[in-house]
Amino acid sequence: MPWIKIDDRLHSHPKVVDAWRLDPAALGLYLRALSYSGEHLTDGIIREAFVEELFPAPARRDRAVGALLATGLWERNGSGCYAIHDYLDFNESSARVLERRRADARRKRGGR
């Protein structure tokens, strides 16, 4: 299972503080998106369908997403999805996670 990294200063980062002021629910969305990306190896790319599932009401969804975009925690990636800003600067890429898994599997097979 891959892990995502969350800075222990997240609570006081200016972007997070600003997002909280705009819409506290945006931070729940941000954390769930980080977790989703780590589990599904999306390299920080978040599909609109994921967001719609969490926020079915368009006005509520627009407010949460708008807060993340306005503060720079998320960016539009040009293909109808969102990108978590700097995700790959702090988390392993999907390619690295998959390579590590293959190496672990080879090592475990060799040890039997």
Q: Does domain 10-110 have CATH number 3.30.700?
A: no
Q: Determine the Cα–Cα distance for residues 14 and 2; give it in Å rounded to an integer.
A: 27
Checking if the pLDDT of 28 tops 80, the result is yes
What's 86's DSSP letter?
A: T
Contacts of 99 (CB under 8 A, 6+ apart): none
Q: Determine the Cα–Cα distance for residues 84 and 26; give it in Å rounded to an integer.
A: 13
What would the two tokens of residue 27 be?
Answer: 């931070």
Checking if the pLDDT of 2 tops 80, the result is no
Domain extents in the chain: 10-110
Identify the residue with better confidence: 32 or 97. Answer: 32
DSSP 3-state helix, strand, coil percentages of the chain (rounded to 5)? Answer: 60, 10, 30
- pLDDT tens digits, residue range 78-108? 888 999 999 999 999 999 989 998 998 888 8
> How many other C-beta atoms are found inside a 10 Å radius of the C-beta of residue 41?
15
